[in-house]
Structure 1
Amino acid sequence: MENNYASLDTAFHALADPTRRAVVQRLGYGPASVTDLAKPFDMALPSFMKHIGVLEASGLITSIKVGRVRTCHLETRTLDAVEKWFGEQRALWESRYQNLDTLLAQMTGDNHET
């Protein structure tokens, strides 16, 4: 997913909703049925299934139906790509702040490194 901003956009859109973030967080503990995932939420199952659909379309989760039970699994590859993007942003800003600290130290005559 490197440099694939459309995939990141889709993942961030999916994670923008608190219900979907809660589902992803719950699936971090292991697979769960849609019925179990829906229990904490005050909404009809068809409405909850729309959230599952958004998460699946984003690649954050997959689901498998066996008989009448649909079980969802977290797709860590997509989360890894999101985490990598955040890591790159963090490194960029840390570098910028370090450069700013160095410049300010030079301007004030302070030779102490941070």
Structure 2
Amino acid sequence: MNIHEIISLSILGMGLIYIGYMIWKKQMIWVLHYYHRSKLKAEDKMMYCKFMGIGSIICGIGCIQYPYLKYFVSYYLSVVIFWIMIIAGICCMIYSQIKYNKGIF
């Protein structure tokens, strides 16, 4: 493992966590592309932002933990946890899209 991998995944993870926080807590829905929020009702905005933000934060945590678990614990464990967290985050976002935006697009 080289230092570039650690730095790049940590920066990517921190960026995803920051974006997730801004969507979830600050409800800055404008960071999402328009077609991802085109059919969203005003009363569903809070829950939509919550699930989209949490999904992004889960993906960010998965990116940050990967190089450190790979270095300190085990390569295989880090890969499994990375993919579980990425898939869980994406599923959270897809759930929010389907439930509150009435479809993926």
Q: Does the TM-score normalized on the shorter chain lie above 0.5?
A: no
Higher helix share: 2
Higher strand share: 1
Higher Cα Rg, which structure: 1
Structure having greater relative contact order (Cα 8 Å, sep ≥ 6): 2
TM-score by length of 2: 0.30
